[in-house]
Amino acid sequence: MKKITVLGSLNADTILHIPHLPQQGETLAMDDASTAPGGKGANQAVAAKRLGADVNFIGAVGDDQNGQLLLDALQADGIDTAHVAELSGVATGAAYIMLEADSNNTILILGGANRQVNESNVAAADATIKASDVLIAQFETPMVATLSAFKAAKAADVMTVLNPAPATKDIPAELLALTDLVVPNETEAEIITGIPVTDDLSMESAAKRLQEMGAKNVIITVGERGSYFHMADGENGFVPALKVKAVDTTAAGDTFIGALTTKLDADMRNVEDAVRFANAAAAITVQGAGAQPSIPTLDQVNASRG
C-alpha cells in the first residue's frame, strides 16, 4: 500500500446554494445552506485514503467544535491525525462556498489555525515524511512549512507534489526546485506564469514556463475539458475529462490530486494512466454535493470505469 503524507489545510465548509453570484449591493435569497468537512489538504488526504493509500496528515485545528468535527472526519476515514495540532485560542479554518445553480463555485477562506502551521509541526513529523512514498502540499498553510517539509522529503528521496492553490506569483525558486510534480488548474497556472491558458498551445507554454521556474513535471487541470501533462523527459499529452452532469465542482481538483498520487509510479512513466484514473475519480466527485461527502471510494471509481 502506498504511503502518502499530506501537509495542508482543514476547513469547516459552509456551502451556500444560490441561483447566481449577487451583484454589488444586491440582496439575494439562498436556496439552501449546509456544512461539511473540507479544506484542500483534508480533501486530498481523504481522496488518497478512499482510493487505496495509507495516509498521514500534518496540520492544525482550533480547540473548538469545528476542529473536533474535522478530526473526527479524518479519523472516520482511517487517516492518521497524530500530527494534527489542536491549538487553543485559535479558530479552526473555515471556507464559505457560494455554489451557483450551474454548479460553479466561488470560495472565501478564513485561514484560522491553518495559518499557524510552521516548521516545528513539520519537524515533529520528520520521520513520517521520510517514511512516505509521496508528500503533498498546497498553499492554504504557510509556505515556510511547505518548504521545510519538501526539504525533508527530498533528503529521503520522497516524491513531492505541489498544488499551488491559492495561487501566487511569488513562489520561491527553492521550493519549485524541490517539487517533483506541480499541479495547478488553468487559473492558477496563469497567475503563476502570466500565460493565459486557453488552448493546447498555451497549456504547453505555461507548462514549459513552470519547468523553467524549477518544477520538474507539470499537470494542468482544465475543469470539464480534462488535464494536460508535460513531463521532465518531454513526454506530454492531453487526457479529456469524462462527460457527466455536474452538481457541485467543490473538491474536484482535490480528488484529482489524491487519486493521481495513489496511482502514479515513482518514475512517473504511467502518468497518462494515472491521469485517466484521476479524471474518473473527479468525475464522480462533481456529481455529488459537498467536498468530502462526494469523494468516491476505489470500488466506485473502478465500477465507473467498467
Residue 26 falls inside a structural domain: no
* Regions of the chain where pLDDT drops below 70: none
Question: Each residue of 255-271: pLDDT tens digit?
Answer: 999 999 999 999 999 99
Candidate list 254, 265, 267, 273, residue with the active-site label: 254
Residue 185 is labelled as binding a ligand: yes
C-alpha cell at 228: 494536460
pTM: 0.93
Residue 42 is labelled as binding a ligand: yes
Residue 84 is labelled as binding a ligand: no
Residue 63 falls inside a structural domain: yes
Residue 81 falls inside a structural domain: yes
Residue 190 is labelled as binding a ligand: no
Query: Residue 249's pLDDT is what?
Result: 75
Residue 12 is labelled as binding a ligand: yes
Cβ-Cβ contacts under 8 Å for 299 (sequence gap 6 or more): none
Residue 174 falls inside a structural domain: yes
Residue 43 is labelled as binding a ligand: yes
Query: Is-contact 271 235, C-beta < 8 A?
Result: yes
Residue 37, domain CATH: 3.40.1190.20
Residue 255 is labelled as binding a ligand: no
Query: Residue 34's pLDDT is what?
Result: 85
Residue 25 falls inside a structural domain: no
Residue 41 is labelled as binding a ligand: yes
Torsion sign (Cα): 106, 111, 112, 117: positive
Instruction: Round to whole Å and give the CA distance between 252 and 286.
Output: 6
Residue 269 falls inside a structural domain: yes
Q: Is 273 a catalytic residue?
A: no
Instruction: Round to whole Å and give the CA distance between 295 and 287.
Output: 10
Instruction: Round to whole Å and give the CA distance between 241 and 89.
Output: 44
For residue 158, the enclosing domain spans 3-20+31-304
Residue 274 is labelled as binding a ligand: no
Q: Specify the number of domains making up the chain.
A: 1
